[in-house]
């Protein structure tokens, strides 16, 4: 039987690369006995940060780095615009890679994420089946499918819509809660977003980084409604998350500190690889953590004056974040809290017995990691689709608290302290913890040998192997 070869092309950004690299590992993992699948991971854009992910790939996965296109003209553009153009400008080099792969392998499928659909043109030229891997919640995927319709129905800005919108199987959302990248319809990011949404139906299948028991009503609604809108089949294959790599220099210090803390007593505070707070919000958070009198492990990045995704393409803090902490903060919280600059071994922290809660920006990778490790949340969304995730975690899954912001958009220290106390010590926190443990078990089950996500993935690979054999 011929080996089916699968090309995987993540868009730039760790939020895309990490789950797609995990998909590659998962595909190889299920097929290492039969060798009926081989994989090339194709990297577009400058990926200084991705080196670590690529170094941790199994030897059996090939990776190809495309020459990074020049995107200097997009320096001030929204991340989505840069991501999208990086892929489009990389198509000529992708074509060269496809020329080689199509003569040396049985190139069967191309998998892209939700912003890589322009690469479908190349797949079509080489008669390769196009697939999408959606690294978001199933609910967010439902909204992606609905966007073209929403665009036709409304002409103003979505944040001005008065009534909430309800999609089948999903919680109702206000227009202002939708994707951050579509909140300005005159911005190029909006038309690009829409264009990708419209191309979803060109795929032969769509994989979701979620699982039936996490979003049952949403996934069932998608499966039931897909014929109405001429939708490709949907395969929930999640949760695909990184397993912690054991290397890393600073790892030992913070994990040693955690070893010394009581079971379930520490709140982990981290805003992901792209998140940054305003200086004022940063200060309020510091005082809020101090006032809560709870133990915390806080990954700080220097605050930024401009948009909250300022670090999207560069995870290093620009200035020394410690300089922004309130005077005397470190002395006053010594022993209770540990402050780390820019980075923590997130998987090891979340899986540590001393960790009892996670204050997170609700990026979907971080959300799935907390589910896999059973850690309840304080939701603090910053950009992209994070507000949608946060509302789902609070209202639908009931595993998170959402701090209230004031009129000025700032969450005050009193509110932060109260919510942190509630999660770590309160009865409502206990309920959320229990609910998160149930989801943790459900996630393990979905990925077990006869679990729903494993079955979904096998269905798909069977399809690919059959195609390769033709």
Q: In which band, very low, low, confident or very high, does the pLDDT at 437 lie, cut at 50, 70 and 90?
A: very high
A 10 A CB-CB count for 386 gives 27
pLDDT at 89: 98
Structure tokens at 345: 């071994």
pLDDT at 245: 61
Domain spans of the chain, in order of start: 4-242+446-469, 251-443
* Side-chain half-sphere CA neighbours of 336 within 13 A: 13
Residue range 107-126, pLDDT digits in tens = 999 999 999 999 999 999 99
Instruction: Mark whether 32 is an active-site residue.
Output: no
Enumerate residues 6+ apart whose C-beta is below 8 A from 65: 43, 47
Q: Of 16, 85, 361, 373, which is the active-site residue?
A: 16
Q: In which band, very low, low, confident or very high, does the pLDDT at 313 lie, cut at 50, 70 and 90?
A: low
pLDDT exceeds cutoff 90 at 135: yes
**Average pLDDT across the chain, whole number:** 92
80 within 8 A of 45, measured Cβ to Cβ: no
Specify the DSSP element, H or E, that contains 155.
none
Query: CA-to-CA distance for 46 and 462, rounded, in angstroms?
Result: 34
| CATH code that applies to domain 4-242+446-469 | 3.40.50.2000
Torsion angle in degrees (nearest 10) through CA of 14, 19, 25, 30: 180
Specify the DSSP element, H or E, that contains 231.
none
pLDDT at 225: 82
Q: In which band, very low, low, confident or very high, does the pLDDT at 316 lie, cut at 50, 70 and 90?
A: low
- Tokens 């199509």, located at residue: 102
Q: Of 31, 85, 113, 177, which is the active-site residue?
A: 113
183 within 8 A of 154, measured Cβ to Cβ: no
Compare 3 and 265 and report the one with higher pLDDT: 265
pLDDT at 96: 98
A 10 A CB-CB count for 102 gives 16
307 within 8 A of 280, measured Cβ to Cβ: no
- Among 57-71, 121-135, 240-254, 404-418, whose mean pLDDT is lowest? 240-254
Domain 251-443 sits in which CATH superfamily?
A: Glycogen Phosphorylase B; (3.40.50.2000)
pLDDT at 321: 87
4-242+446-469 and 251-443 in the same fold: yes
Q: What value does the mean pLDDT take over residues 325-337?
A: 96
Structure tokens at 382: 């910053």
Enumerate residues 6+ apart whose C-beta is below 8 A from 99: none
Residue range 8-59, pLDDT digits in tens = 999 998 889 999 999 999 998 875 555 679 999 999 987 666 788 888 899 8
Provide the strand spans (E) within 28-138.
37-43, 61-65, 106-112, 129-134
Residue range 173-198, pLDDT digits in tens = 999 999 999 999 999 999 999 999 99
pLDDT exceeds cutoff 50 at 307: no
Instruction: Mark whether 35 is an active-site residue.
Output: no
140 within 8 A of 388, measured Cβ to Cβ: yes
pTM: 0.94
pLDDT at 460: 95
Rg of the chain taking only CA atoms, in angstroms: 22
pLDDT at 306: 57
Specify the DSSP element, H or E, that contains 333.
none
pLDDT exceeds cutoff 70 at 317: no
């Amino acid at each position: 039987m011929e080996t089916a070869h699968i090309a995987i092309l993540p868009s730039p950004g760790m939020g895309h690369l990490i789950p797609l690299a995990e998909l590659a590992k998962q595909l190889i993992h299920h097929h290492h006995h039969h060798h009926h699948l081989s994989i090339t991971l194709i990297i577009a854009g400058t990926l200084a940060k991705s080196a670590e992910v690529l170094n941790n790939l199994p030897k059996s996965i090939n990776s190809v780095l495309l020459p990074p296109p020049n995107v200097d003209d997009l320096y001030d553009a929204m991340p989505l615009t840069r991501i999208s153009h990086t892929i489009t400008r990389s198509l000529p080099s992708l074509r060269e890679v496809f020329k080689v792969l199509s003569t040396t392998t049985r190139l069967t499928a191309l998998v892209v994420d939700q912003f890589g659909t322009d690469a479908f043109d190349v797949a079509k030229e080489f008669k390769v089946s196009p697939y999408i891997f959606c690294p978001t919640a199933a609910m967010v995927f439902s909204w992606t499918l609905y966007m073209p319709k929403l665009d036709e129905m409304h002409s103003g800005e979505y944040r001005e819509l008065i009534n909430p919108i309800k999609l089948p199987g999903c919680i109702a959302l206000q227009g202002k809660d939708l994707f951050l990248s579509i909140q300005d319809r005159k911005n190029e990011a909006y038309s690009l977003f829409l264009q990708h949404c419209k191309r979803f139906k060109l795929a032969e299948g769509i994989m979701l980084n979620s699982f039936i028991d996490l979003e049952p009503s949403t996934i069932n609604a998608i499966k039931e409604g897909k014929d109405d809108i001429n939708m490709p089949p949907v395969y929930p294959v999640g949760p695909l998350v990184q397993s912690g790599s054991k290397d890393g220099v600073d790892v030992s210090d913070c994990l040693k500190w955690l070893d010394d803390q009581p079971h379930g007593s520490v709140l982990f505070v981290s805003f992901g690889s792209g998140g940054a707070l305003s200086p004022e919000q940063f200060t309020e958070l510091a005082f809020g953590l101090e006032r809560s009198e709870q133990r915390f492990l806080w990954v700080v990045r220097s605050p930024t004056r401009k948009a909250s995704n300022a670090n999207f393409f560069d995870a290093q803090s620009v200035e020394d974040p410690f300089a922004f902490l309130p005077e005397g903060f470190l002395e006053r919280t010594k022993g209770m809290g540990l402050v780390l600059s820019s980075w923590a071994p997130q998987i090891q922290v979340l899986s540590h017995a001393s960790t009892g809660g996670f204050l997170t920006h609700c990026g979907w990778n971080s959300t799935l990691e907390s589910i896999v490790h059973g850690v309840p949340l304080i939701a603090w969304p910053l950009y992209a689709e994070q507000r949608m995730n946060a509302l789902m975690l609070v209202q639908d899954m009931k595993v998170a608290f959402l701090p209230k912001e004031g009129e000025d958009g700032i969450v005050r220290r009193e509110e932060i302290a109260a919510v942190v106390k509630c999660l770590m010590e309160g009865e409502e926190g206990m309920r959320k913890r229990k609910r998160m443990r149930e989801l943790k078990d459900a996630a393990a089950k979905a990925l077990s040998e006869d679990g729903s996500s494993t079955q979904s993935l096998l269905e798909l690979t069977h399809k690919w192997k059959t195609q390769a054999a033709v």
